[in-house]
């Protein structure tokens, strides 16, 4: 068989893992899992014998905007049946089982599931009961073990918390950029260029020279470096540089842009007024 060429175009299309919850006791946890899945792009939720039956109002309430996932939940009598159509399946466990299987973090599992999905495989992650997790027989049905890198002294995540971390790692991987955010800084004017910032420094320093701020004289260079550092750290926008220059002009007693604009407005108003009066007099 020839190896297939991967040109990277299928990256976004990789099918996300199926989430399988075995004998979950609390509907709230099923809902929390659905909510986590919806936020991170997972879709297929399967339940093996949920304690309180199905449908479950508490699950729907806790799912929040994940109700599309709740609508499509599939029920199974056994874990075998729930994962029969998958090719690579992870059992999540918080403690070692007496079974020789590779143990992987959610980050590594996400990488492997994405690679498998890109090659056409369907993947899944299985989560056990709130009180005691998965049986060794259930773990034995899976290919590998996935476990969250908790502090061993406190290992105690609930099933909703474990699902969100697995789903989050999937999305982190699919995004391919740990710095990605769903929105960016609001209405920020463009970053000021270094030239704009240097012109502001010249303005500020000349204003401060006039009021003999830099004393004693031999400390002038040092003081200027410290002042400049304050504004460099702020990574000013163009608008912020204009604001600061207006502020310095105001403190200097020079007319500000606002003063000039108001003056212009007053003059315009006066001229209009004069125009109106002239028309009245005609």
**Where do contacts with its own copies occur on this chain (CB under 8 A)?**
32, 35-36, 38-41, 64-66, 95-105, 107-108, 145, 147-152, 154-158, 160-161, 164-165, 168, 171-172, 175, 178-189, 237
- At 47, which helix (H) or strand (E)? strand 45-48
Minimum CB–partner distance for residue 270 and its own copies (Å) = 36
Q: Which is nearer to its own copies, 95 or 210 (CB)?
A: 95
Helix intervals (H) in the chain: 27-39, 57-63, 67-71, 79-82, 106-118, 136-141, 159-175, 194-210, 220-233, 238-252, 257-281
CB 92, min distance to its own copies, A: 11
User: Least Å distance between CB 191 and its own copies?
Assistant: 11
Contact 73, 37 (CB under 8 A): no
- In the bound state with its own copies, the residue whose beta carbon lies nearer, of 179 and 230, is 179
* CA pseudo-torsion sign 112, 115, 117, 120: negative
Minimum Å gap between C-beta 174 and its own copies is 10
Burial class (CB in 10 A: 0-12, 13-18, 19+), 212: exposed
Closest CB 251 distance from its own copies, rounded Å:
23
What is the pairing mode between strands 18-22 and 123-127? parallel
Residue placing its CB nearer to its own copies in the complex, 48 or 139: 139
Closest distance of CB 203 from its own copies, Å: 22
Cα→Cα distances 209→38, 141, 222, 266, Å:
60, 78, 14, 34
Residues 6+ apart with CB under 8 A from 207: 248, 251, 252
Q: Which residue number, 49 or 58, has a Cβ lying nearer to its own copies? A: 58
Measured at the CA of 137, the angle between CA 90 and CA 21, to 5 degrees, comes to: 50
Least distance (Å) between residue 30 CB and its own copies: 15
Q: How far is the CB of 268 from its own copies (least distance, A)?
A: 31
Nearer to its own copies, 18 or 174 (CB): 174
Nearer to its own copies, 132 or 154 (CB): 154
For its own copies, which is the closer residue by CB, 149 or 255? 149
**Which residue's entry shows tokens 């309430």?**
61
CB closer to its own copies, 31 vs 82: 31
The strand order across the sheet containing 74-76 reads 74-76, 45-48, 18-22, 123-127, 88-92, 144-146, 103-104
């Amino acid at each position: 068989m020839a190896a297939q060429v991967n040109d990277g175009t299928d990256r976004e299309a990789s099918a996300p893992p199926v989430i399988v919850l075995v004998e979950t006791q609390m509907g709230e946890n099923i809902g929390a899992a659905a909510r986590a899945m919806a936020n991170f792009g997972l879709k297929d939720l399967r339940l093996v014998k949920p304690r309180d039956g199905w449908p479950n109002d508490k699950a729907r309430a806790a799912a929040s905007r994940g109700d599309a996932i709740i609508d499509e939940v599939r029920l199974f009598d056994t874990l075998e049946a729930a994962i029969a159509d998958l090719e690579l399946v992870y059992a999540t466990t918080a403690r070692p089982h007496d079974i020789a299987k590779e143990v992987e973090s959610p980050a590594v599992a996400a990488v492997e599931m994405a690679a498998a999905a890109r090659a056409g495989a369907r993947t899944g992650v299985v989560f056990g009961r709130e009180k005691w997790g998965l049986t060794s027989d259930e773990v034995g049905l899976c290919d590998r073990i996935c476990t969250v890198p908790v502090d061993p002294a406190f290992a105690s995540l609930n099933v909703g918390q474990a699902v969100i971390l697995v789903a989050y790692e999937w999305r982190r991987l699919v995004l391919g950029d740990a710095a990605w955010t769903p929105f960016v800084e609001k209405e920020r004017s463009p970053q000021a260029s270094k030239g704009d910032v240097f012109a502001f420094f010249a303005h500020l320093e000349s204003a401060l020279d006039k009021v003999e701020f830099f004393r004693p004289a031999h400390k002038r260079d040092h003081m200027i470096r410290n002042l400049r550092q304050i504004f460099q750290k702020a990574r000013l926008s163009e608008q912020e540089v204009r604001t600061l220059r207006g502020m310095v002009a105001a403190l200097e007693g020079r007319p500000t842009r606002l003063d000039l604009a108001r003056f212009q407005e007053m003059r315009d108003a006066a001229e209009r007024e004069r125009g109106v009066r002239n028309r009245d007099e005609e």
